[in-house]
Amino acid sequence: MMRVYLDHAAATPVRPEVLAAMLPYFRAHFGNPSAVYDLGADSKEVMEAERAKVARLIGAPAEQIIFTSCGAEANNLAVKGAALAHLKKGRHIIVSAIEHHSVLNSARYLEKFHDFEVTFLRVNKFGQVEPERLLKALTPGTVLVSIQQGSNEIGTIQHINELAALCREHGVLFHSDAVAGAGTIPIDVQDLDVDLLSLSGPPLGGPKGTGALYFRRGLRLVPQIHSGIQESGRRGGTENLPGIVGLGVAAELAQGELSATANRLKTLRDRLINGVIGQIPYVIFTGHPEERLPGHASFCFEGIEGEALVFMLNARGICANTGSACASKALKVSPVLCAIGLPPEVAQGSLVFTLSPDNTEAEIDYVLTELPAAVEKLRSFSPVWRRKMAAAGGGPQ
């Protein structure tokens, strides 16, 4: 049985070059970058060199990069840190309805504990925020807008530069979560004209527990981790030097391979999408058909539940994910899929594939062999499917 891993949005193996670069900083070069003696000063120099590598990936000045423990922390620092630093202007923030939980829950925190008003902005059927809708949502008290650059669930890419320019015209800060897209699509914070942008190490082939936040020069942020003067006082705690080295090397490799990576991913992605749509009836391809992340393919299969499909594929050696999640005895339907207008009974059948350049055409073909059979088997168990087929004249109820 072939083993195929297609859930790189959840976790990605550390690249060999990254691991090799990290290892010396666990023992031989273990100094605290804040220490004044040579061992600490050497670590500080290394850390700043890696900061410059991360900055180059997104076209930013090195001094405008804050190292964090993950993309979720970067999002928390951006949303809560920027909003709380600008209370004098107002207490209204806008986030799209399909943001990552780290953005959505940061917004809810501000709403619950700091009396903020939060607008959860609707998206169109492709999951894109329309500028006209954002413009209508802006108020004199709006301090921050946060829109994800690329969706980790449906793959859709937003027109960030257009949305950010609109906010700039109205004096509103703009943050974008670029965790899902960094390393596979070009990102330049100057061209995008954003005030804040979040990154994470694992999607780049870096280690877990690493991330970064770009912030525009002069922007005030309230720290979310209080300690000493690390990261220029914006994020306390001793820096994770091995992780920072890994993040820097991963960013450098991703930048050098960006075009080749994107082309490779698009080829594999399109092979998968065309095969699924061509072989399986009653399937909905979710997200924008063209303006989407190069390594992302997402579907909803009518008449089945996504988690059951994930388990069945796992038994056949295939790792994928679903937009729905079982919690206790209730099936929670993905809010992202509901936001793009899918009915709950369809959204429950979601399946998400996220690819790596290391995946092969043979692996994609194996998935295209096993997936139709898995869907057909699950549908044969489903009373919902039987009723649908009976109503369509395709078989007994």
Residue 151 tokens, joined: 């969706």
Give which of 172, 177, 175, 170 is closest to 151, Cα–Cα.
177
CATH number at residue 76: 3.40.640.10
Confidence of residue 331 (pLDDT cuts 50, 70, 90): low
Q: Looking at the domain assignment, is residue 9 inside a domain?
A: no
For residue 339, give every residue at least 6 positions away whose Cβ sits within 8 Å of its Cβ, in sequence order, or none.
97, 98, 122, 123, 127
Is 5 within a domain? Answer: no
What tens digit of pLDDT does each residue of 80-116 get? 999 999 999 999 999 999 999 999 999 999 999 999 9
Q: 127 and 167, same structural domain?
A: yes
Cα-flanking dihedrals φ and ψ of residue 189, to 5°? -65, -25
Same-domain check for residues 177 and 31: yes
* DSSP code for 234: T
What pLDDT shows up at residue 333? 83
Catalytic (active-site) positions: 326
Does 180 lie in the same domain as 45?
yes
Q: Give 257-260's long-range contacts (Cβ < 8 A, gap of 24+).
A: 257/357, 258/183, 258/184, 258/186, 260/357
Q: Where are the alpha helices (DSSP H) in the chain?
A: 16-22, 38-57, 71-85, 101-113, 131-137, 160-169, 189-192, 241-256, 258-279, 306-315, 335-339, 344-347, 361-381, 383-391
Flag whether 79 is in a domain: yes
Residues 262 and 246 in one domain: no
What are the residues facing 297 on neighbouring strands? Answer: 353
Confirm whether 397 is domain-assigned: no
CA pseudo-torsion sign 31, 33, 37, 41: positive
Residue 7: inside a domain, yes or no? no
| 263 and 186 in a common domain | no
The whole-number pLDDT of residue 396 equals 46
Residue 133 maps to a domain: yes
Neighbouring-strand partners of residue 214: 65, 197
- Identify whether 35 is part of a domain: yes
234 and 327 belong to one structural domain:
no
The pLDDT value recorded for residue 395 is: 55
Residue 209 sits in the same domain as residue 294 = no
Instruction: Examine residue 295 and state whether it is found in any structural domain, yes or no.
Output: yes
Gap between the Cα atoms of 310 and 304, Å rounded: 11
**β-pairing verdict for 350-354 and 65-68:** unpaired
Rounded to two decimals, the pTM is 0.95
Confidence at 392, pLDDT banded by 50, 70, 90? confident
What's the pLDDT at 394? 60
Least confident span in 208-212, 219-223, 390-394: 390-394
- What's 326's domain CATH number? 3.90.1150.10
**Eight-class DSSP state of 366:** H
Same-domain status, 316 and 368 = yes
Residue percentage of the chain with pLDDT more than 90:
92
Which one of 256, 274, 303 terminates a domain? 256
Please check whether residues 113 and 152 belong to one and the same domain. Answer: yes
Mean pLDDT of 131-156: 98
Domain boundary among 209, 235, 256: 256
Over residues 232-246, the pLDDT tens digits come to 999 999 999 999 999
Residues 204 and 308 in one domain: no
> What stretch of H or E contains 211?
strand 211-215
Q: What total of structural domains would you count in the chain?
A: 2
Task: List Cα–Cα distances, 104 to 90, 261, 292, in angstroms.
Answer: 19, 30, 21
- Do residue 25 and residue 170 come from a single domain? yes
| Strand, helix or coil for residue 365 | helix
Regarding whether 344 and 275 lie in a shared domain, the answer is yes
Ramachandran region of residue 144, left (φ > 0), alpha (ψ -120 to 50) or beta?
beta
Tell which of 256, 281, 314 closes a domain. 256
Mean local confidence (pLDDT), 360-380: 97
Residue ranges making up the domain that contains 111: 16-256
